[in-house]
């Protein structure tokens, strides 16, 4: 049975998938007594990417049906195998086409990489967050990534280059990923983080009535994210040597033990 591929653009709902249902003798199937007609699709190479739903019977006697794609059906571009199942009285079913499958081709959108959040998610992805037990959006992760970029003392492009060149340790990559996820979760209850005043510390009363100290990091960074960033190889406390602009000689500079305050030379 030769079936032409149905082509639709990524993220689109139309055109409808319209087909005439034929039996094993390639004769139209009369759907007058059918109880249901359902379309199903599966991405080639990825059994987890499935879609489909109820079809509309356009002309029952001629076996003509159509299916309007849901948004979830065309989220991922690629070639899909499709089937249509007819429900008959007495719980009997019939799967079509009689041989082979319908082919659905979801062509990728033409998207500007600059506007695609996936391109800029360097530290942690939605899948990374899910593996840690959190359901987060790309927008939330992208926002958290900006915070971690500032606090870790390295620009995003430099970290991306280090990852591409495999000169950044797996431990540092893991710390950045987890810190970004924890920061994204923390943002959920601290939505005004970018609007807060820069301070050295704030004194606040604890539950016992005693005074507690809240540092500048405490009002801008998730506690678990801060612990992870402190352990980055270029942030850990150590001494480096630098040249004094005034004397041209050498001076010793010891970094403080906190994220973003010490800019080390090169990657470990």
Domain boundaries, the chain: 6-107, 115-195+224-247
Cα distance between residue 23 and residue 21, in whole Å = 7
Cα distance between residue 169 and residue 232, in whole Å = 10
Q: 128-151 burial by CB neighbour count: b if 16+ within 10 A, else e?
A: bbeeeebebeeebbbbbbbbbbeb
Closest CA to 24 of 115, 97, 92: 97
Q: What architecture is domain 6-107?
A: Sandwich (2.60)
pLDDT band, residue 122 (cuts 50/70/90):
confident
Least confident of 73-87, 173-187, 196-210: 196-210
Count how many Cα atoms sit within 13 Å of the Cα of residue 181 in the half-sphere of its side chain. 19
User: 265 near 188, Cβ under 8 Å?
Assistant: no
Query: For residue range 225-234, what is the model confidence (pLDDT) as tens digits?
Result: 888 998 898 8
Highest mean predicted confidence (pLDDT) among 58-67, 130-139, 181-190: 58-67
Cα distance between residue 45 and residue 66, in whole Å = 26
Mean pLDDT of the chain: 79
């Amino acid at each position: 049975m030769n079936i032409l591929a149905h082509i639709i653009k990524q993220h689109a709902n139309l055109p409808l998938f319209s087909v005439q249902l034929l039996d094993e003798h390639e004769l139209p199937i009369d759907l007058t007594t059918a109880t249901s007609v359902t379309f199903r699709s599966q991405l080639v190479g990825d059994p987890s990417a499935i879609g489909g739903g109820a079809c509309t019977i356009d002309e029952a006697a001629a076996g003509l049906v159509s299916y309007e794609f849901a948004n979830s059906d065309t989220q991922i571009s690629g070639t899909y195998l499709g089937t249509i199942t007819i429900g008959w009285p007495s719980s009997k079913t019939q799967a079509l086409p009689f041989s082979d499958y319908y082919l659905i081709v979801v062509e990728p959108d033409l998207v500007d990489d600059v506007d695609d959040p996936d391109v800029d998610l360097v530290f942690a992805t939605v899948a990374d967050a899910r593996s840690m037990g959190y359901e987060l959006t790309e927008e939330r992760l992208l926002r958290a990534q900006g915070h971690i970029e500032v606090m870790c003392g390295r620009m995003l492009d430099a970290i991306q280059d280090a990852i591409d060149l495999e000169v950044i340790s797996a431990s540092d990559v893991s710390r950045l990923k987890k810190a970004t996820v924890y920061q994204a979760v923390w943002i959920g209850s601290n939505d005004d983080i970018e609007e807060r005043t820069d301070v050295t510390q704030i004194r606040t009363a604890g539950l016992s009535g005693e005074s507690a100290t809240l540092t500048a990091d405490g009002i801008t960074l998730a506690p678990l994210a801060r612990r992870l960033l402190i352990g980055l190889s270029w942030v850990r406390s150590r001494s480096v040597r630098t040249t004094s602009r005034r004397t041209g000689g050498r001076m010793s500079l010891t970094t403080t033990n906190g994220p973003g305050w010490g800019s080390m030379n090169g990657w470990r």
